[in-house]
Chain A
């Protein structure tokens, strides 16, 4: 008879990072070319502006198995489209508060401003976020159980 192993897999979080094309994505690029490391479980999605991120994107990321979602954009005042990140700021403040109201841990969601010159900061932010999520554990509250099947 075959032995059933119930070895617990070590938890490695799945992180989705929405990075704006003009600042944070370039910041990530700089982190790379400066040979700074950040965890490989951060999946970067490039968006034209942080304001492009529809709240549904964040929810969809969680649905598809993300354990944490982080939004990176230009510092307020530096938006390539002048005001985009100001709208992001309000929108995400409300959305993240609301998710918390529904019982989703506040730490799972984050907004950080990273400029194109801040490769160091990008790496630090990602390391810190992955650490937070690893401590927090798996996202079980806002996920579609069907995507976890077969794992």
Chain B
């Protein structure tokens, strides 16, 4: 991973020095090794903090909504799954494609610090990835872990290693094959009874503190004016009632991105309460695939989405259950 980081840094320096781009969007060092944060670098000096490691799971595409409207070009590093969000934003005219230079970078699957901590390792200082195994160094010594066990939730069901868009690429190693199991959990829920499902979601959603992190991080949630910011909506903040508010919030949020959600998994990654929000979005994706034909949002930067098109022989709502026509 170190060689990829150096190559990226070198290229970022080149682009900034030559004046080809006005800013580079990447990740910068956090307080610890495991908390790099998305950042915009405008000078070569600022690049001193540049970093790319196993904890750079954040999807950077959404930052382009602001950046691409500024003066000068913006270079951005995109992992394969981020490129879907990028295309979707281009399709919705939220970002200006001409002002962006996309650098496709390799991704070997990103790591979840919480899962590492759960293994009893604290004070992580460095992580070395080698194929299937990961060596975690901490203040208290080194531990070898199985990579599959500490992958981010979204990477544990990776949907592809092909960039949907790129202007150039920095790919030095072969990327592992995608893992195709993203509907397993949804199917498991579908197999439950209504009461069990209700109990499951009730338990999950009552943890919600309405911090709006899922909304703010979502590349598909990019309305300038959001319904949840409207004080007259009745759902602006969480009421002192655990039954209804968050249910409505999550249904509306999931429906608003139905047919546009690329399944980047950021919502679940940022949720401070560990609510499996991606399972809500995936239900819509699964239903759309089952009822209206396979569709992957962000595969192209043009064309219609399933909810803005129709066919005359669509299934009747009363007969559609569990994503398949009865």
Contact = CB atoms under 8 A, between A and B. Distances in A.
A90 B244 contact: no
Contact of B307 (A90, A98, A106): A90
Given A63-B248, A110-B318, A144-B241, A94 B287 contact: yes
Contact of A142 (B200, B241, B247, B287): B247
Interface in A95-144: 95-106, 109-112, 141-144
B310 A145 contact: no
A99 B198 contact: no
A43 interface: no
Interface residues of B, number: 46
A136 to B, nearest CB: 11
A16 B244 CA distance: 19
Contacts of B244: 63, 142-145
B321 interface: yes
A97 B248 contact: no
Interface stretch (B73-81, B119-127, B250-258): B250-258
Interface of A is mostly: helix
Nearest to A106: B321
Nearest to A95: B255
Contact of A90 (B201, B306, B323): B306
A97 B321 contact: yes
Interface stretch (B41-49, B165-173, B188-196, B263-271): B188-196
Contacts of B195: 103
A145 B245 CA distance: 10
Interface string B100-139: 0000000000000000000000000000000000000000
A89 interface: yes
B310 A111 contact: no
Contacts of B11: none
Nearest to B319: A93
A94 B241 CA distance: 27
A30 interface: no
B318 A111 contact: yes
Contacts of B291: 90, 93-94
Contacts of A92: 317
Given A55-B252, A94-B288, A100-B194, A89 B306 contact: no
B292 interface: yes
A103 B198 contact: yes
Interface string B198-239: 111110000000000000000000000001000000100001
A93 B241 contact: no
Interface of A: 55-56, 59, 63, 76-77, 83, 86-87, 89-106, 109-112, 141-146
7 contacts: A59-B248, A59-B251, A90-B291, A98-B255, A101-B190, A104-B198, A109-B317
